[in-house]
Structure 1
Amino acid sequence: MSSRSMKLIPLALAAALFISGCSLAPTYQRPAAPVPTVFPGDPSQPGGPAASTVAWQDFFTDPRLARLIETALANNRDLRISVQNIEQARAQFQVQRSALFPNVGASAAGTRSSPNPYQALGFGGSVSSQYSVNLGITAWELDFFGRISSLKDAALAQYLATEDARNAAQIALIAAVANGWLQLLADEEFLEITRQTLATREDTQRLTKMRFDNGVSSDIDYQSSTSLAENARAALALLQRQRIQDENALALLLGAPVPPESMAGIRSLEDARPMADVPAGLPSDLLADRPDIRAAEQQLIAANANIGAARAAFFPRVALTTSIGTQSSQFSNLFDSGTKAWVFSPQITLPIFDAGRNQANLDSARASREIAVAQYEKSIQSAFREVGDALAGRQTLGEQVRALRAATAAESERLKLNTLRWRNGIASSLDLLDAQRSLFLAQQASVQGRLQQLQNQVTLYKALGGGWKG
């Protein structure tokens, strides 16, 4: 090989690397958020840290709940799948990125042949030998028009989207564990209320039976008291079953049995430590705080990059094969002077007729981008609604719980008065039974309202993008 030829190879490689990087992908522009600039009905909130910056350990202050969340983060199978999806996407990005660089490999070969087919049987004839050792590049595509770069950018965006999807899965998991634990607390309170109600109704049934046996009460009164007692037993059985099912649902989230100590010292929702309050902020904050929105944007960026790859398919594709090494007919002098050999073999492929395949791929890539735009905008709108609904709950559930508790207190007092009047023969048994029924319903509504209030706090924290840090 001449010295001039040896100089051409690195110059060609340098020129190829310099020209590479041209991209035909459209310039990415983030679509405008299709939501108002403020949340509906949100009064001005005092300044404070954004929900996404509040670690879940600082928001959920009850140590029993914190231990459950830690268990879920360590054991939940869906979260494990999300983590492995990240690893898979990272590997795919590395695969696409590696195509930008030449694959350098070494090869060695040796052949012995003869034009005489009987040579192998020992009947004479000449035998030729050829040995070679080479170091080189095979079919390296020079990325003149950015096809490989666009595919690499798309793979990178897919990787980032997968990572954000994992963070979104963590947010959902933490919120689900918190809501599941609060539901168990409510179940305990429901069970206690139902047991007390059943005891009261059984006492009323017993007294009514005595009055009926003595001719003081009618059979209608006795049957009515029996019906209410049996309904309370049925409600107790239903709640016991629901309690077991709710615990099973929480165990699935944890990936492990629910430890008994997570319910230690708890008989009602009021036994749980309060959660921190967070300001709503502005809708524009959601673009940076919600991992699911960021994941949707990364999918849009990937779709935008795929257009560049589809456009590049219309242009020539240049591949380079080159090697340098030694070649000899004698293995013993394979590395002697004068045995050097080199190959420089560029190849250009120009698409002329493909029956519309490249155009169809481009049309498909453009349609995919429009789909990704719609999905991105929908993710913003869905997040806006979730925050708006949670803010509406924060504004109204407090008053609802207060009113339900006041109604429960009134019904409790009414039952006491009716019980006294019935025992003294002033009120009818129907008044007593109606008061028992009303109090039971009021107590259940009060607990349900408080559960909704606490779960709404969890939902607001989740909707604002809290829970994926820490």
Structure 2
Amino acid sequence: MTRHHYLAASLSALVLTGCVNMAPEYERPVAPVPAELPVADPSQEGASTLTWQQVVQSEELQELIALSLEQNRDLRTVAATVEVARANLITARSGFWPSFNGSGNAQIGDTFDDSSAYSSAFSDSTSAQIGVSAWELDFFGRIRNTNDAALQTYLASVEGERATKISLVASVAEAWLQLGADKELLRLAQQTAESQKESLELTQALFDAGTASEIDLRRASASVASAQAQAATFEANVRRDINTLRYLVGTDLPPAIEASVALSPSPVQLNLPVGQSSAVLLRRPDVIQAERTLLAANANIGAARAAYFPSVSLSGGVGVAGGDISDLFEGDYASGWTFTPSVSIPIFDFGARQGNLDAARANADAAIATYEGAIQQAFREVANALAVSETISRRLDALEQLAEDTSVTLNLSQERFKSGLDDYLTVLDAQRESYDAQQQLIQANLDHGLNSLALFRALAVWEEPAETTPRE
């Protein structure tokens, strides 16, 4: 083995084995939540992987969600940040390797002898060089920790994109449910207005016949005006909901899909077997994102610590020179090489390195708090959704019975008014009670669907082809 080969092998071994990682040893913070989810069924297994296709039953809504995943501008913005993080990772990884550069020049000239106007000396020269500029040997892990921080930042951005997709799916489905509910409320208000008009016509006839008072007539007229005003309000709500859907989807809604929006039958169904352990929360993309950010902050501490130690860099190059370009290819040239190791030792920087280290530690503390907060937020969302799930069925059953009873009462009161047994005030009370009961039932059906989506937000994962990081 030549001296040069021995030197290269020794340097390679030193680089591979001599690196010291200055980053603190990572320990995942203990989740600051109870070990068990509330209202969990001990007889059921842990929550299975939950995707939006399992929750959304309506084919039209599925088509709209797929369209939003292609067209939504906020999602495009998040996707662009992932690409930025990917590019930064590639840049960070380049620090492991030397950078090569090449140069060449050619010179031609002529000199004249002052003593003779006809005497001159012609000369030319050509040279080429290739070199390595300041390849830093990562003895103390500064480059490796910088790379680790970039990697974790990239992976965090990937999880952030997944969390955004889950949020977008839920938001589109929520807007769909709200539009369906407002459509039903509009239909109910319009039907009530028509019914009130019929009652007004009947009351007018009775008033003309002298069997109804002017008070009854005015009450009937006021009921028509009230129902028409509510119908106008719900019509505006429907238009607002359509605009919300258009914004979320990122383009105009297909007419057939817009016409098919309905609250009943419910377009979303979720019967989630929630297990005992709150560890399922650790699979949420936003929680994983927070932990990735914490890992990046941990690596940044290592990079900041490494700045206290000397840095060793290597520079070198080889070159050839000849009389003209053809000499370089014919072997008629001179050659040479250089090898320049250098050491940079930090001495005094007026607290810059300490400030960087303090900032890295503070960022890590903030990342820990963010991670713990993400878990607490996840637990709260699941707990709230499960609490509603416990009672929503009983609420729906009671409201369905209430709507049926008040509808029968309204029919009976109208018949008694026609027969002259009751005044119109009784009819108005029955109409109000029936209308309120039906509104409550529509709202309860909406709440049922929204709660299913809340559970989806809280526990969903995003399944797609595995993300690949840039190759080293």
TM over 0.5: yes
- Structure 1 equivalent of residue 468 of structure 2: none
**2:352 is aligned with 1:390:** no
Structure 1's 309 and 126: CA in aligned 2 closer, same or farther, altered over 3 A?
farther
Structure 1's 174 and 45: CA in aligned 2 closer, same or farther, altered over 3 A?
farther
Alpha-carbon distance in 2 for matches of 1:265, 1:14: 67
- Structure 1 equivalent of residue 442 of structure 2: 447
Please tell me whether the aligned partners of residues 137 and 312 of structure 2 are also in contact (alpha carbons under 8 angstroms): yes
Secondary structure, aligned partner of 2:211: coil
Q: What is the letter of the counterpart of residue 33 of structure 2?
A: V
- Structure 2 equivalent of residue 221 of structure 1: 216
1:41 to 39, 42, 48: 39
Report the Cα offset of residue 461 of structure 1: 1.7
- Structure 2 equivalent of residue 275 of structure 1: 269
Report the Cα offset of residue 248 of structure 1: 1.0
- Structure 1 equivalent of residue 91 of structure 2: 95
Report the Cα offset of residue 349 of structure 1: 0.9
Secondary structure, aligned partner of 1:108: strand
- Structure 2 equivalent of residue 78 of structure 1: 74
Q: What is the letter of the counterpart of residue 66 of structure 1?
A: Q
Q: What is the letter of the counterpart of residue 81 of structure 2?
A: N
Alpha-carbon distance in 1 for matches of 2:372, 2:208: 72
Please tell me whether the aligned partners of residues 171 and 468 of structure 1 are also in contact (alpha carbons under 8 angstroms): no
Please tell me whether the aligned partners of residues 284 and 460 of structure 2 are also in contact (alpha carbons under 8 angstroms): yes
Structure 1's 154 and 274: CA in aligned 2 closer, same or farther, altered over 3 A?
closer
- Structure 2 equivalent of residue 310 of structure 1: 304
- Which one is further off, 103-112 or 58-67? 103-112
Alpha-carbon distance in 1 for matches of 2:119, 2:413: 125
Report the Cα offset of residue 330 of structure 1: 5.7
Alpha-carbon distance in 2 for matches of 1:294, 1:226: 60
**2:352 is aligned with 1:352:** no
Q: What are the superposed Cα offsets for residues 275-305 of structure 1, whole Å, 9 maximum, x if unpaired? A: 2412123211111x20010000000000000
Alpha-carbon distance in 2 for matches of 1:468, 1:41: 27
Secondary structure, aligned partner of 2:21: coil
Alpha-carbon distance in 1 for matches of 2:5, 2:37: 66
Secondary structure, aligned partner of 2:395: helix
2:314 to 317, 320, 324: 320
**2:447 is aligned with 1:459:** no
Q: Identity of aligned pairs, percent? A: 37
Structure 1's 31 and 459: CA in aligned 2 closer, same or farther, altered over 3 A?
same
- Structure 1 equivalent of residue 232 of structure 2: 237
Secondary structure, aligned partner of 1:340: strand
Please tell me whether the aligned partners of residues 51 and 460 of structure 2 are also in contact (alpha carbons under 8 angstroms): no
- Which one is further off, 20-29 or 426-435? 20-29
Report the Cα offset of residue 196 of structure 1: 1.2
Q: TM-score, normalised by structure 1?
A: 0.91
Report the Cα offset of residue 454 of structure 1: 1.2
Report the Cα offset of residue 411 of structure 1: 1.1
Please tell me whether the aligned partners of residues 293 and 380 of structure 1 are also in contact (alpha carbons under 8 angstroms): yes
Report the Cα offset of residue 307 of structure 1: 0.3
Please tell me whether the aligned partners of residues 47 and 280 of structure 2 are also in contact (alpha carbons under 8 angstroms): no
Please tell me whether the aligned partners of residues 61 and 267 of structure 2 are also in contact (alpha carbons under 8 angstroms): no
Alpha-carbon distance in 1 for matches of 2:109, 2:143: 42
Secondary structure, aligned partner of 1:270: coil
Report the Cα offset of residue 11 of structure 1: 3.3
- Structure 1 equivalent of residue 105 of structure 2: 109
Structure 1's 11 and 203: CA in aligned 2 closer, same or farther, altered over 3 A?
same
Secondary structure, aligned partner of 1:450: helix
Structure 1's 189 and 123: CA in aligned 2 closer, same or farther, altered over 3 A?
farther
Secondary structure, aligned partner of 2:343: strand
Report the Cα offset of residue 48 of structure 1: 6.7
Structure 1's 117 and 278: CA in aligned 2 closer, same or farther, altered over 3 A?
farther
What stretches of structure 1 move > 4 A for 4+ residues in a row? Answer: 111-114, 116-119, 122-130, 263-266, 328-332, 467-470
1:206 to 201, 207, 214: 201
Q: TM-score, normalised by structure 2?
A: 0.91
Alpha-carbon distance in 2 for matches of 1:313, 1:117: 57
Report the Cα offset of residue 247 of structure 1: 1.0
- Pairing of 1:179-190 with structure 2 (within 5 A): 179-190=174-185
2:425 to 430, 440, 443: 430
- Pairing of 1:140-155 with structure 2 (within 5 A): 140-155=135-150
Please tell me whether the aligned partners of residues 56 and 469 of structure 1 are also in contact (alpha carbons under 8 angstroms): no
Q: What are the superposed Cα offsets for residues 206-240 of structure 1, whole Å, 9 maximum, x if unpaired? A: 22223333333222222222211111111101111
Paired positions, count: 461
Q: What is the letter of the counterpart of residue 316 of structure 1?
A: P
- Which one is further off, 323-332 or 151-160? 323-332
Alpha-carbon distance in 1 for matches of 2:122, 2:384: 87
Please tell me whether the aligned partners of residues 20 and 142 of structure 1 are also in contact (alpha carbons under 8 angstroms): no
Report the Cα offset of residue 334 of structure 1: 4.4
1:159 to 154, 164, 187: 154
Report the Cα offset of residue 9 of structure 1: 4.7
What are structure 1's unaligned runs of at least 5 residues?
none
Please tell me whether the aligned partners of residues 268 and 452 of structure 2 are also in contact (alpha carbons under 8 angstroms): no
Cα RMSD of the aligned pairs, angstroms, is 2.5
Alpha-carbon distance in 2 for matches of 1:123, 1:317: 59
Secondary structure, aligned partner of 1:99: helix
Alpha-carbon distance in 1 for matches of 2:108, 2:25: 57
Structure 1's 47 and 4: CA in aligned 2 closer, same or farther, altered over 3 A?
closer
- Structure 1 equivalent of residue 470 of structure 2: none
Please tell me whether the aligned partners of residues 316 and 349 of structure 1 are also in contact (alpha carbons under 8 angstroms): yes
Alpha-carbon distance in 2 for matches of 1:74, 1:383: 27
What are structure 2's unaligned runs of at least 5 residues?
466-472
- Structure 1 equivalent of residue 64 of structure 2: 68
Structure 1's 453 and 276: CA in aligned 2 closer, same or farther, altered over 3 A?
closer
Alpha-carbon distance in 2 for matches of 1:118, 1:369: 74
Structure 1's 29 and 127: CA in aligned 2 closer, same or farther, altered over 3 A?
farther
Report the Cα offset of residue 18 of structure 1: 2.2
